Amino acid sequence: MEKRKGVWNWIIVGVSLILLFGADLLPLIPGLGASGQRVLGLFLGAVMLWLFVDIGWPSALVIFALGVLPGVKTGDVLLSSFGNATVWFLIFSFLLT
C-alpha cells in the first residue's frame, strides 16, 4: 500500500510541475490570455501539491514560479511574501520549536 501511495505522489508531483511551469505549452483556453493561463496553471498546480503532497516545499516552489512569470518582478514577489514582520516572527518561532 505504501509503495502505491508513493507512485501516486510522484504522478501528482509530475502533473503539478507541468501545470506550474508548462501551462503556456498547453493549448490556450478560449477567452483566456497566455498570462492568465500561466497563472491558472500555477494556481491549480499549487493546490494539487498542497492537497496531496506537502505544504512546505510547494509553497517555496510557487513563490519561485511567481517570480519567473513575465510581467511580475521577483523583488515584488519576495516583498509580498516575506515583507511582513509577522511572517518572520512565525519563521523564527518555528525554528526555535
25-67 pLDDT tens trace: 888 889 888 888 888 999 999 999 999 888 888 988 898 888 8
Kindly write down the DSSP assignment for every residue of 36-76, as one continuous string.
HHHHHHHHHHHHHHHHHT-SHHHHHHHHHHHHTSTT--HHH
96 has a pLDDT exceeding 60: yes
Number of structural domains, the chain?
1
Taking the model in full, what pTM does it have?
A: 0.75
* Residue 75: how many other CB atoms lie within 10 Å: 9
Domain that holds residue 89: 2-96
Residue 65, C-beta contacts closer than 8 angstroms, at least 6 positions apart: 20, 21, 42
